[in-house]
Amino acid sequence: MRDFLQGNRRGKLIDWLKIDSWIDSGLYGAWIGFRDWWSAYSSFFGRFEIKGFLRACNELACESLTLSVAGLLVVLTFALPAFEIAQGKINLSDEYSVTFLDRYGNEIGKRGLLRDDSVPLEEIPDHMIKATLATEDRRFFDHFGIDVMGTFRALAENARADSVVQGGSSLTQQLAKNMFLTPEKALARKIKEAFIAVYLENHYTKPEILKLYFDRAYLGGGSYGVEAAAQYYFGKSIREVTLPESAMLAGMFKAPTRYAPHVNLAASRARANEVLSNMVEAGYLSEGQVYGARLNPARIVERGENKTPDYFLDWAFEEVQRLMHGKPNHILVARTTVDLGLQKAAENALEDTVNKFGRSRNFNNGALVSMETDGAVRAMVGGKDYGSSQFNRAAHAYRQPGSSFKPYVYLAALEHGYTPDSTVSDGYVSCGRWSPKNYSGGFRGRMSLRTALAKSINTVAVKLSLEVDRGTVLANMEKMGIKHLKKTCSMALGDNGMTPLEHVGGYAVFAAGGLEVRPYAIEEIRTIPGDLLYNHDRDEPPRKQIFDPKAVAQLNSMLQTVVNAGTGRRAQLDYTNAVGKTGTSSAYRDAWFMGFTGQYVTGVWYGNDDFTPMARVTGGSFPAETWKAFMTAAHDTDNIPNIPGVDPHPLQVAEQARIAAVMSQNTNAELPVPPPAENVKDMSTATRQVLQKLSELLKDAPRLKPNGQALPGRAETPAAGSPSSSLASAANTDGTPPPAPAPAATEPENAASVEQNANAPVPQ
């Protein structure tokens, strides 16, 4: 065959047969070579034989190699996500700095870092750095992000003590957790933490990592970073702290709440003494140099019993970042929905239960969320101890709701023609190869829907979910904003994970009569100068009616039966109606009580972070009792709205009758109208405007001056002709001359004398 090349206009012969022969001979030679190699390999290992100790070593090496390769593949699956997390957040970690106010405008905490007050590493005292390294990571400047020797040493010490006495995480790993990961205790998180630590070591110098650690570590009292902690505990900058104060701060890195001096001063000073010993052992200081610090421990600034709602603030900070995403403002002031009185009551109710019964009944954590019927979250407790674990179980822990999920199924049934009095059969039902069983075992025959919900019959809930279609139930959940649930056979029994915040938001829809409810934490966001950037009432869309009010009213009446005559009896309240539902997941891993009054919707969860079973803890036991304790403390008025579908409580009816009788007997008296029930604790707009006007008048009024010589310890009445204005004169706008002031008393008055002379004639 000829291929005519136009370039040189010559015919060139290509021997295709030679090329084909070369390929064939090459493949044949390769095959013969491989076959000879395989024959020799097989012959060698056919004669190869190892006995005794060498064989054991060979087997161990082979197994180790196999497991190492498998482990490497598993670990690598976490490497890329970890690096993506680090790269995605490395430049956004300082984006927002937010000062938070409670619902009444009082400052309650901060989140984020203020760029203008960060102390450079060079200005942090040397003894603060040495105390931290001696206690947290002595090999910080030697390892590559993971202290292998330190990890093995910690494992040995923990095994010897049969408990966790030393941590194996390096300082860089702790920084990786604080900056990029959640505090949840899980193997996946630990692997990501290790990879991010290596990533940080390759992108930052050791001093930069140390500086980031000092700025990001939580040190109790709502303080993030050593500068904020020094200001909070000692009333001074970190630049000025002494050796004993540095030892106290360094001791709080391990467990801020446990060793915070305003919580437990004795434990904090004992921990500081351990830090001083660590500095001596590490060779940073001599025993003589720390002797004075041992004799003169740090003294703290008294802060009273203020306790910041840290779990709530963490969630509120997430909400601020979501609301302000893409906007240029980064330094903000946010007024939140939290009520510190309700927050303290929630924390006390949950902590008391865990401390009293947690050890004996094998549960070590819990969560509580309480909101008003419009979604304003008033209290949030994400765990028993924020210092030991900052993981917010209220907002981020997905736990099985158990039977507390059943009201969602019953609502779908009521919307499809069922009534509370419709009869259903408690009998065998199956979905594929699965069939549910009741908690008490056996079947009870025919019963009404009301009884089935009150007794928490599993078979009836599953039958209803199959009859109305499980897709309908999921569609209802999506209307409530819960879109991650899956269609399963046991869906009606709460086998899908839900967070307490989501669950309480779902029950708030029932309390609101079927209106849409979205839990929220932020009322308004402003800049430092006061410019309004966000207002919830202005910027959020109006709430929609997403469910039939009649069906919701019927469901609420059924939930009242659960509390009055069913599994939730321990949640009964003496002064108002309470409705709700208990929930217990399989093997007693989760226990819930979800309920509401006409004012507050509250959910309580108890369980273990590692999903180990509790000792037969059900939703009708400790969760219901905690719910009752909190709700009893939360309601401070008799003017509680009625629950849709539930008759008013007898005590509330009696109170309304009493007020009506008083009004009829005092027809000439003008009794004050009670505040709106849905916002008992909030000021009305008119009240807020009046108080603001009074504040302006007080600021503008000149200071009153005494007419004569003042007696020691006694205030004098201004002269009648004094031109100084006052609130009385400012309020007297009708032209009527004010009454002359009464003459000064000759003796100091007390409450008793004022009361005795109340009817005496006023001198003119």
Give 10-residue mean pLDDT values along the chain (764 residues).
48 74 87 86 72 75 81 65 55 68 92 63 92 90 79 62 60 81 66 81 88 85 82 90 94 85 88 94 92 91 74 95 88 94 96 94 96 97 87 95 96 95 92 88 90 95 95 96 94 95 97 96 93 95 95 97 95 94 95 96 96 95 97 86 91 79 68 48 60 71 56 39 35 40 36 37 38
CB-based contacts of 215, cutoff 8 Å, min separation 6: 113, 118, 224, 225, 226, 227
pLDDT at residue 698 in the model: 73
Q: Which pair of tokens denotes residue 200?
A: 């940080």
Q: Could you tell me the fold of the domain covering 344-634? A: Beta-lactamase (3.40.710)
pLDDT at residue 89 in the model: 52
pLDDT at residue 646 in the model: 94
pLDDT at residue 257 in the model: 75
Q: Which pair of tokens denotes residue 351?
A: 């902590």
CB-based contacts of 212, cutoff 8 Å, min separation 6: 175, 179, 204
Helices 287-295 and 243-251 cross at an angle (nearest 10°) of 80
pLDDT at residue 739 in the model: 42
Residues, the chain, total? 764
CB-based contacts of 372, cutoff 8 Å, min separation 6: 378, 599, 600, 601, 678, 679
Map residue 590 onto helix, strand or coil: strand
Q: What is the largest CA-CA distance in the chain?
A: 138
pLDDT at residue 35 in the model: 87
Rounded-to-integer distance, Cα 470 and Cα 567, Å: 25
**Catalytic residue numbers, as ranges:** 136, 403
pLDDT at residue 37 in the model: 86
**DSSP symbols for 131-160:** HHHHHH-TTTTTSSSS-HHHHHHHHHHHHH
Rounded-to-integer distance, Cα 269 and Cα 260, Å: 9
Q: Which pair of tokens denotes residue 154?
A: 């910690």
Q: What share of the chain is helix, strand, coil (3-state, %, to 5)?
A: 50, 10, 40
Euclidean distance between the first and the last CA atom of the chain, given in angstroms as a whole number: 137
Rounded-to-integer distance, Cα 511 and Cα 373, Å: 6
C-alpha distances out from residue 204 to 80, 121, 145, 209, Å: 19, 14, 11, 6
pLDDT at residue 316 in the model: 96
CA dihedral over 488, 490, 491, 494, signed as positive or negative: negative
Q: Could you tell me the fold of the domain covering 120-308? A: Penicillin binding protein transpeptidase fold (1.10.3810)
pLDDT at residue 161 in the model: 56
pLDDT at residue 168 in the model: 64
pLDDT at residue 764 in the model: 37
Q: Which pair of tokens denotes residue 415?
A: 């919307």
pLDDT at residue 224 in the model: 79
CA angle 214, 381, 196 (to 5 degrees): 35
DSSP code, position 238 = G
